[in-house]
Amino acid sequence: MKALILAAGKGERFFPFNVFRPKPMFPICNRPLIAWTVSRLIDAKITDIGIVVGHRGGRARNYFGKGQGFGCQITYIEQPQPKGTAHAVGLASDFIGNDDVLVIFGDIFFGPDAIPRLLDVFNATTASGVAGVVHVDDLAAHIRAHVEQDQRVSSYTYKPRGGAGRALAGLYVFKNETLPDLDNTADFVPRTQYGIFPPEGREICDIIPLLYRENRALIATDLPGPWFDMDLPWHPKNVTRLALAEMAEALSESVIAPTATIDPTARVCGPIAVGENTTIDRNTSIEGPVWIGKNAQILEGSRIASHTVIGDHCKIGPFAKLSGTVDANCHITYLGELSGIMLEEGRVTHQIQLSGIFGERAEIGAGTQVGTLRFDDAEIEVEVQGIRRKAPGFTGVLFGDYSRTGIGAMIMPGRIVGPCAMVGPGVVLTKNAPPYKAVLVEQQLAEIDWLPNIYDR
């Protein structure tokens, strides 16, 4: 058995975080989403792994290399143009050879029991393959799986209008002799809701009706949770919550490296994991579970909330407040506050209140404030590709890679700051900031006389 991870798409709805990385390489608790998938495969004893890459594929290559550091062998398959998931599997025919194959979409998060369940069903059936399905509350964001009483998948509907039900999960196992059928998919997805135009691309789901008609149907199996399709730019917070819950189960007691130092006045409640050469200064407060990497500094008076992950070489404080995840070499200094996600090498100077998701090497100027609540108390909405979408449970902003703010900038909730943008000093940002643009305040200055007699009272 081989595994194939599909990670070549452009992820355009994931803007602003898709510009400098493929979506599956977005860090979840400081490891790329796709790295969680690789770990699940290795745990299931599948170590011959192919990754289909395209947009920014070098990010995956640079992270995984040949896979030796992860205990597996990784082969890369190029898909220069995103022509669909069935097309991607076809490009991997040389890698797959004569083996059966487990195919996984690169932008989904799933629990440790999902792959074992798929393999158990696959090994017990003579069918052409197995399709993982999950129950979702809103089918309008997914592909509905039409499953017969005998668990054969007979058809699909692409993003039907509302309602709950069973959706295709993006995990399949195919017998090798079934793979040529993927060449028999249309170059668009025909089975959409009535009146909805079909998306372009040759997709795996389109072989489902063909196999059913020929009495070679895929067998559906309900996957154990958790499961999440990371599609929109605020979704990393949803996925992070699932990953943190799994990590918390594994951290039953504190694990503190011998070279780490914790000041006696520090207050630690609950289990924590602390890496080598990390220091936790006086009068700090940590509510476990918390994970802190190596060579990090938690400076005087800082407050670290429960379910927080801090990467290697980070500097937090003094008197900072942190809730969420910060990647390697982030600095959140004097009186800085962050609730959310900050990617690698973010810089937060003093007296700042931030909420949301902040891209790699973002620089936040002193006094920057981020709104977390709409004036009407309604759910935050985010404009993605010209469409305003509700973002349930999300607070704050979506701040792109390599962007920065000036002193005293204010950003309203739900706004996107594009990558390589700058929000100037004193700006109140009420709409999205485009990439590669600076948003500045224009002022009219007045000069008046200011003579000594002004003080003669």
For every one of its 457 residues, what pLDDT tens digit does the chain have, with 9 covering 90 and above? Answer: 999 999 999 999 999 999 999 999 999 999 999 999 999 999 999 999 999 999 999 999 999 999 999 999 999 999 999 899 999 999 999 999 999 999 999 999 999 999 999 999 999 999 999 999 999 999 999 999 999 999 999 999 998 987 899 999 999 999 999 999 999 998 888 888 777 788 888 999 999 999 999 999 999 999 998 999 999 999 999 999 999 999 999 999 999 999 999 999 999 999 999 999 999 999 999 999 999 999 999 999 999 999 999 999 999 999 999 999 999 999 999 999 999 999 999 999 889 999 999 999 999 999 999 999 888 889 999 999 999 999 999 999 999 999 999 999 999 999 999 999 999 999 999 999 999 999 999 988 899 998 888 888 7
Examine residue 454 and state whether it is found in any structural domain, yes or no.
no
Phi, psi of 420 (to 5 degrees): 60, 35
Cα gap 181→416, rounded to integer Å: 42
Same-domain pairing of 219 and 252: no
pLDDT value of position 367 = 95
- Report the first-to-last Cα separation within the chain, whole angstroms: 91
Residue 335 is encoded by which pair of tokens?
A: 């009186």
What is d(CA 309, CA 306) in angstroms, rounded to the nearest whole number? 9
Handedness of CA 420, 421, 425, 429 (dihedral sign): negative
pLDDT of residue 162: 77
Q: Are 33 and 168 in the same domain?
A: yes
- Who's near 187: CB < 8 A, 6+ residues apart? 83, 84, 200, 201, 202
267 burial via Cβ count (<10 Å: 0-12, 13-18, 19+): exposed
Q: What is the pLDDT of residue 455?
A: 85
CATH number at residue 304: 2.160.10.10
Residue 239 lies in a domain: no
Alpha carbons 419 and 434: distance in angstroms, whole number: 8
- Output the pLDDT for position 102: 98
In a domain, 446, yes or no: no
228 burial level (CB within 10 Å; 0-12, 13-18, 19+): buried
Nearest alpha carbon to residue 220 among 146, 330, 325:
146
Q: Check whether residue 153 and residue 285 sit in a common domain.
A: no
Range of the domain at 365: 245-439
Q: What pLDDT does 17 receive? A: 98
| Same domain assignment for residues 195 and 89 | yes
340 and 293 housed in the same domain:
yes
Residue 449 lies in a domain: no
Q: Are residues 333 and 415 in the same domain?
A: yes
Rounding to the nearest 10 degrees, give the CA dihedral for residues 186, 188, 191, 194.
-140
- CATH code, domain carrying 209: 3.90.550.10
3-state helix, strand, coil in the chain (%, to 5): 20, 35, 45
Q: Are residues 256 and 162 in the same domain?
A: no
Note every long-range contact of 144-152, with CB atoms under 8 Å and residues 24 or more positions apart, other chains counting: 144/168, 145/220, 147/220, 151/219, 151/220, 151/221, 152/127, 152/212, 152/217, 152/218, 152/219, 152/220
What are the backbone dihedrals phi and psi of residue 102, each rounded to the nearest 5 degrees, phi first? -95, 120
What is the maximum alpha-carbon separation in the chain?
A: 100
Could you say which of 231, 258, 291 is where a domain stops?
Answer: 231
The Cα 366–Cα 407 span in angstroms is 5
433 is a domain residue: yes
27 and 162 assigned to the same domain: yes
Residue 453 lies in a domain: no
444 in a structural domain: no
In a domain, 450, yes or no: no
CA dist 234 and 382 (Å) reads 9
**Residues 286, 225 share a domain:** no
Q: Are residues 381 and 256 in the same domain?
A: yes
d(CA 6, CA 347): 33
* Burial (CB count <10 Å: 0-12, 13-18, 19+), residue 215: exposed
Contact partners, residue 334, CB within 8 Å, separation at least 6: 317, 318, 319, 320, 349, 350, 351
How many domains are there within the chain? 2
How many whole angstroms from its chain centre is CA 415? 18
pLDDT of residue 375: 87
Same domain, 125 and 172: yes
- List, as one string, the DSSP characters of 228-239: EE--STTHHHHH
Query: Does 318 sit behind a cis peptide bond, omega within 30 degrees of 0 on the bond before it?
Result: yes
Do 109 and 230 meet the contact criterion of CB atoms below 8 Å apart?
Answer: yes
Same domain, 69 and 129: yes
Distance CA 338, CA 106 (A): 29
pLDDT value at residue 129? 98
Q: How many CA atoms lie within 13 A of 425 on its CB side?
A: 4
